[in-house]
Amino acid sequence: MKKIILILLVSIAVLNAKDTIKASDYKNLQKVNKLIEQNKLSKAKNHIKILLKKDINNLTKSYALQSLANINLKRKNYKAVARDYEKIISYKSLEKDDILKIKYSLSKIYFSLEKYEKAVKYSKQLINSKVARNKELYENIALSYYYNKKYSNSATYTKKVLVLSKGDKNKESWYRMLYSAYVESKKYKLAINTLKDMTKIYKKNETYWMQLISLYERTKQKRKSLATLEFTYKNNIVSKGKNLLYLISILSDYGVYNKAAKYMQKALNEKTVKNNQKNFNILISLYLNAKNYDKSIKLLENSPFAKNDKYQLILGNIYYNQNSFKKAISVLEKHNFKTRSKADGKRYTLLALSYYELDNKPRLTKYLKKASKNRYEKRRAKSLARDLGFKI
């Protein structure tokens, strides 16, 4: 928006002022205007300087300065244009409508020069005038306040723009600015209400939905955040692959692990996400946290990503806790654990406990001895042997 700057030339007819300007001065002004039309700007400027040094009235000065402003506009010297126009206003010699036109140009020029307070000042003076539509003036004021970091003021005028933009297909950017102004001024409730309006109008815009979800999170409205995210996810509004982990994270925060696991499993089945070690780790973690051991066992038994010390030890523990001691033994004896590792020591202890439950003392003793020789399990194995009444 900031780049769209339209500077309108104030067109003041010198001919209309013939009766109030000396004939010689009037001829000079005509000559100056012809030189400007011929793009002989330096020569025109010299004529103006000579004229301004003469003893002339304020009206003549005003027209001379208008011509000088036109030269500076052609040269894109907007600071000089603003200076020329300010002088014209100070002389108070032109008609009211002409002064208003100059103020309109100044409101645009000051905005382009990033002098936002002056841009606001002149724009406000033009409200309800015939020079410009109120909508355009509200836009200039809203933008000026926004870029000057006066976000609450900007929001006030942005709302006025939106009221006058009914049926306008280009109002989306104003909604974005209103939302941003509320966020910058920490008026999160109003920002949420704005985003809710935006998601009703621009239903398929993923960015607006995600911003709404994020604001619910920021304002500790996690249930609304979760409900909104699930809604957008189920209705294919947001990217499933990109936002899956976010959805799972929120579900996990609420302890809804089984539901999170279902979303993850579905995404894997539909190939929305890659079937790799990282995503397997997430899925099995969700099932374990949900205490869904049937699903966990199935994954740990069949997935190639589970064929490592960590997951085989977990599988053995699940079977042990389910009193399936023979299955626990089968898993722990079958898998080739890294020798003398922490997992290796733990599996010997778990094997000893499993054989104890099966009343197999020779095997119990064997694995207690192996555990006691592992530096990670040594202390635990000896303590366990004492508790069980065995010497190792």
Which residue has 């996400």 as its token pair? 273
- Sign of torsion over alpha carbons 146, 213, 236, 261: positive
Q: Contact 344/338 with Cβ under 8 angstroms?
A: yes
Using CA atoms, how far residue 298 sits from 90, 315, 330, in Å, is 86, 10, 15
Give residue 99's Cα distance to chain centre: 43
Using CA atoms, how far residue 54 sits from 64, 68, 72, 93, in Å, is 12, 16, 21, 17
Rounded to the nearest integer, the mean pLDDT of the chain is 92
Best CA proximity match to 64, nearest among 100, 104, 24, 96? 24
Number of C-beta neighbours around residue 122 at 10 A = 24
Number of C-beta neighbours around residue 110 at 10 A = 23
- Helices 206-218 and 188-201 pack at an angle, to 10 degrees, of 160
Task: State the alpha helices, DSSP H only, in 113-237.
Answer: 116-125, 134-147, 151-163, 172-184, 188-201, 206-218, 222-234
Strand locations in the chain (E): none
**SS3 category, 367:** helix
Question: Most confidently modeled of 57-61, 164-168, 236-240?
Answer: 57-61
Task: Judge whether residue 10 has pLDDT over 80.
Answer: no
> What is the residue type of 125?
Q
In which band, very low, low, confident or very high, does the pLDDT at 239 lie, cut at 50, 70 and 90? confident
Interval 161-181 mean pLDDT? 92
Residue 21, pLDDT score: 86
**pTM for the whole structure:** 0.76
Rounded-to-integer distance, Cα 174 and Cα 169, Å:
11
Which pair of tokens denotes residue 254? 């609420």
> What is the residue type of 293?
Y
Residue 364, pLDDT score: 95
Interval 118-133 mean pLDDT? 96
Best CA proximity match to 94, nearest among 9, 8, 12? 12
Which pair of tokens denotes residue 320? 């042990």
Residue 171, pLDDT score: 93
Rounded-to-integer distance, Cα 159 and Cα 166, Å:
12
**SS3 category, 237:** coil
Residue 4, pLDDT score: 34
Which pair of tokens denotes residue 325? 């001691």
Phi first, then psi: give them for residue 86, nearest 5 degrees: -60, -40
Task: Judge whether residue 18 has pLDDT over 60.
Answer: no
Best CA proximity match to 295, nearest among 347, 320, 260, 245? 260
Q: Contact 313/350 with Cβ under 8 angstroms?
A: yes
What pLDDT digit, counting tens, does each position of 181-236 carry?
A: 999 999 999 999 999 999 999 999 999 999 999 999 999 998 999 999 999 999 99
Best CA proximity match to 348, nearest among 318, 382, 324? 382
Q: Which of 4-18, 262-276, 325-339 has the lowest mean pLDDT?
A: 4-18
Give residue 390's Cα distance to chain centre: 64
Best CA proximity match to 10, nearest among 90, 94, 76, 114? 94
Interval 329-334 mean pLDDT? 97
Number of C-beta neighbours around residue 285 at 10 A = 17
In which band, very low, low, confident or very high, does the pLDDT at 168 lie, cut at 50, 70 and 90? confident
